[in-house]
Amino acid sequence: MAWTNFQKSNWTRTVSSEHARQYFPASVQGTVTGNLTIAAGATKTLTLTATFQFQGNGQVEVSAPEGVSNFQTAAAQGLVITNAYLTGPSSGSYSAGNHPLIVVNLFSSTLMTTAATGFDLIAVQY
Protein backbone atom coordinates (compact mmCIF):
# COMPACT_ATOMS: atom_id res chain seq x y z
CA MET A 1 0.00 0.00 0.00
CA ALA A 2 1.47 3.32 -1.01
CA TRP A 3 1.27 6.20 1.43
CA THR A 4 -0.12 9.48 0.21
CA ASN A 5 0.67 12.87 1.63
CA PHE A 6 -1.68 14.05 4.35
CA GLN A 7 -3.93 16.86 3.16
CA LYS A 8 -4.94 19.11 6.05
CA SER A 9 -7.93 20.37 4.06
CA ASN A 10 -9.20 16.77 3.81
CA TRP A 11 -8.98 16.21 7.55
CA THR A 12 -12.32 14.81 8.67
CA ARG A 13 -13.80 15.54 12.05
CA THR A 14 -13.27 13.21 14.96
CA VAL A 15 -16.12 10.93 16.00
CA SER A 16 -17.04 12.69 19.23
CA SER A 17 -17.12 16.41 19.69
CA GLU A 18 -13.70 17.66 20.61
CA HIS A 19 -13.07 20.61 22.87
CA ALA A 20 -9.93 21.65 21.00
CA ARG A 21 -7.73 20.36 18.20
CA GLN A 22 -4.47 21.54 16.67
CA TYR A 23 -2.30 20.40 13.78
CA PHE A 24 1.47 20.59 14.27
CA PRO A 25 3.42 20.39 10.99
CA ALA A 26 6.95 18.97 11.23
CA SER A 27 8.31 22.45 10.58
CA VAL A 28 6.93 23.77 13.91
CA GLN A 29 9.65 24.19 16.51
CA GLY A 30 9.32 21.56 19.22
CA THR A 31 7.88 18.87 16.96
CA VAL A 32 9.91 16.12 15.37
CA THR A 33 11.65 18.29 12.79
CA GLY A 34 14.08 15.65 11.65
CA ASN A 35 17.27 13.78 12.44
CA LEU A 36 16.13 13.05 15.99
CA THR A 37 18.07 10.14 17.47
CA ILE A 38 16.51 8.17 20.33
CA ALA A 39 18.56 5.46 22.05
CA ALA A 40 17.09 1.99 22.55
CA GLY A 41 14.76 1.97 25.55
CA ALA A 42 14.89 5.77 25.88
CA THR A 43 12.12 8.36 26.00
CA LYS A 44 12.22 11.74 24.24
CA THR A 45 9.95 14.50 25.55
CA LEU A 46 8.54 17.13 23.21
CA THR A 47 6.88 20.31 24.46
CA LEU A 48 4.43 21.91 22.04
CA THR A 49 2.79 25.32 22.41
CA ALA A 50 -0.97 24.87 22.23
CA THR A 51 -3.67 27.33 21.23
CA PHE A 52 -5.85 28.94 23.90
CA GLN A 53 -8.72 26.56 23.06
CA PHE A 54 -6.86 23.89 25.06
CA GLN A 55 -7.82 24.48 28.68
CA GLY A 56 -7.05 23.01 32.06
CA ASN A 57 -4.61 20.26 32.88
CA GLY A 58 -5.05 16.68 31.81
CA GLN A 59 -5.04 14.16 29.04
CA VAL A 60 -4.68 15.05 25.36
CA GLU A 61 -4.75 12.60 22.47
CA VAL A 62 -1.73 13.00 20.18
CA SER A 63 -1.23 11.03 16.99
CA ALA A 64 0.41 11.26 13.59
CA PRO A 65 -1.93 11.82 10.65
CA GLU A 66 -2.60 8.81 8.45
CA GLY A 67 -0.44 8.72 5.37
CA VAL A 68 2.62 10.40 6.86
CA SER A 69 5.23 7.90 5.72
CA ASN A 70 8.01 9.30 7.89
CA PHE A 71 6.06 8.43 11.05
CA GLN A 72 5.17 5.03 9.63
CA THR A 73 8.88 4.39 9.04
CA ALA A 74 9.75 5.50 12.59
CA ALA A 75 6.92 3.35 14.03
CA ALA A 76 8.27 0.34 12.12
CA GLN A 77 11.62 0.99 13.83
CA GLY A 78 9.94 0.87 17.26
CA LEU A 79 8.88 4.48 17.91
CA VAL A 80 5.61 4.95 19.81
CA ILE A 81 3.80 7.90 21.38
CA THR A 82 3.51 6.70 24.97
CA ASN A 83 1.49 9.51 26.53
CA ALA A 84 0.60 13.15 26.20
CA TYR A 85 -0.83 15.68 28.60
CA LEU A 86 -1.79 19.33 28.80
CA THR A 87 -0.22 21.64 31.32
CA GLY A 88 -0.27 25.35 32.03
CA PRO A 89 2.25 27.84 30.68
CA SER A 90 5.86 27.34 31.72
CA SER A 91 5.83 30.83 33.22
CA GLY A 92 3.25 33.50 33.79
CA SER A 93 -0.47 32.98 33.32
CA TYR A 94 -3.06 32.59 30.58
CA SER A 95 -4.31 36.12 31.23
CA ALA A 96 -0.80 37.44 30.55
CA GLY A 97 -0.93 35.86 27.08
CA ASN A 98 1.07 32.72 27.85
CA HIS A 99 -0.13 29.64 25.99
CA PRO A 100 -0.77 26.21 27.51
CA LEU A 101 1.71 23.45 26.68
CA ILE A 102 1.25 19.92 25.39
CA VAL A 103 3.90 17.50 26.62
CA VAL A 104 4.38 14.43 24.38
CA ASN A 105 6.57 11.45 25.26
CA LEU A 106 8.07 9.35 22.46
CA PHE A 107 9.57 5.95 23.32
CA SER A 108 11.89 3.91 21.11
CA SER A 109 12.39 0.19 21.63
CA THR A 110 15.40 0.26 19.30
CA LEU A 111 18.09 2.77 18.41
CA MET A 112 16.43 4.87 15.75
CA THR A 113 16.77 8.16 13.91
CA THR A 114 13.80 9.92 12.36
CA ALA A 115 13.77 10.89 8.72
CA ALA A 116 15.39 14.19 7.80
CA THR A 117 12.01 15.83 7.24
CA GLY A 118 10.49 14.71 10.55
CA PHE A 119 6.74 14.12 10.86
CA ASP A 120 3.52 15.95 11.68
CA LEU A 121 1.40 15.53 14.82
CA ILE A 122 -2.27 16.16 15.67
CA ALA A 123 -3.45 16.97 19.22
CA VAL A 124 -7.08 16.69 20.33
CA GLN A 125 -8.66 17.47 23.71
CA TYR A 126 -12.12 16.06 24.42
Quote the CA–CA distance of 66 and 70 in Å, as a whole number.
11
Residue 73 belongs to a domain: yes
Amino acid, single-letter form, for residue 4: T
Residue 11 belongs to a domain: no
Per-residue confidence at 5, pLDDT binned at 50, 70, 90?
low
Taking residues 82-109, what's their average pLDDT? 85
Residue 25 belongs to a domain: yes
Contact 57, 85 (CB under 8 A): yes
Residue 6 belongs to a domain: no
Domain count, the chain: 1
CATH of residue 47: 2.70.40
Residue 12 belongs to a domain: no
Full domain range(s) for residue 90:
18-125
Residue 7 belongs to a domain: no
Quote the pTM value.
0.75
- Kindly tell me the burial class for residue 1, based on how many C-beta atoms sit within 10 Å of its own C-beta (0-12, 13-18, 19 or more): exposed
pLDDT for the residue 1: 44
